[in-house]
Amino acid sequence: MRKTWICAALIASAAFSTAASARTICTIVADASEHGPALRSGECAERFTPASTFKIAISLMGFDAGILQDEHTPSWPYQPGYPDWGGDAWRQPTDASRWIQYSVVWFSQRVAQQLGEKRFQRYARDFRYGNQDVSGEPGKHNGLQGAWINSSLRISPQEQIAFLRRLVNRQLPVSAHAYDMTSKVTLIAAAPDGWEIHGKTGTGSPGSNGRYDPAHAYGWFVGWAIKGDQKRVFARLIQDDQPTQPNAGLRARDGLLQELPALADQLTRRSH
């Protein structure tokens, strides 16, 4: 049911995507092996806010620490005062599966808060995640509320690829259960030629004060794809030059999903 909904959403948003005014900052599709071949275009070394792509890392942390047990346990209720700019979908009881599907910010905050500052920082450091700075907005010490959203945490597309390679090859210091459950909740679609796609969108903007600028929004789509014994990791980052709907993260996803099978095949030919 979920896959059907996502595929329908991709088709419905295609018309909006073609009209959107955005530039692609970077696209990387790479073999998941540590030094495997990669297709790369654009400027991929500069760091940006990871926005909701950091939910992949938070998922690994939450499941490893035992805060999250499986895709449906725990289920936490929405409470007044929680972020709700995601609309009614964010005002519902939410479990890990629903958290990733609807990108619910307050669920991320609850996991981070239960981890606590020291453990949250230790995971970011052990994951070698971008600049590893989860302190939050300057002078506010609010990293657990959203260091990953237009705040202190920064990561480049090429660092996203390095992190995803460590994830796919299970080289991060987390449990097998954390890998298994994160893989389960990030499964988003099956491409027509048989690729199993895992990933997460993210929408952010410039600045480190937690404020969102829709006229200059960044859109991420990062993740991994599996087909038989082939494993690929990918990252795309775009930026708008005017307020555009749907959001930049969804359009980054839609565009890359359309191109991913051809890029993955091209990478296979290059490696032979």
Active-site positions?
52
With residues binned 3-state (H G I as helix, E B as strand, rest as coil), the percentages for the chain, rounded to 5, are: 45, 20, 35
Distances (CA, A) of 80 to 91, 103, 137: 9, 18, 23
Residues in a beta bridge with 236: 27, 221
Nearest in space to 50 (alpha carbons), one of 115, 118, 108: 108
CA distance 99 to 89: 10
Residues in a beta bridge with 111: none
Q: Side chain identity at 54, as an amino acid letter?
A: F
CA distance 48 to 54: 12
Sequence-distant contacts of 6-13: CB under 8 A, at least 24 apart: 6/188, 6/189, 7/189, 10/189, 10/253, 10/254, 10/257, 13/246, 13/250, 13/251, 13/254
- What are the tokens at 51? 């926005």
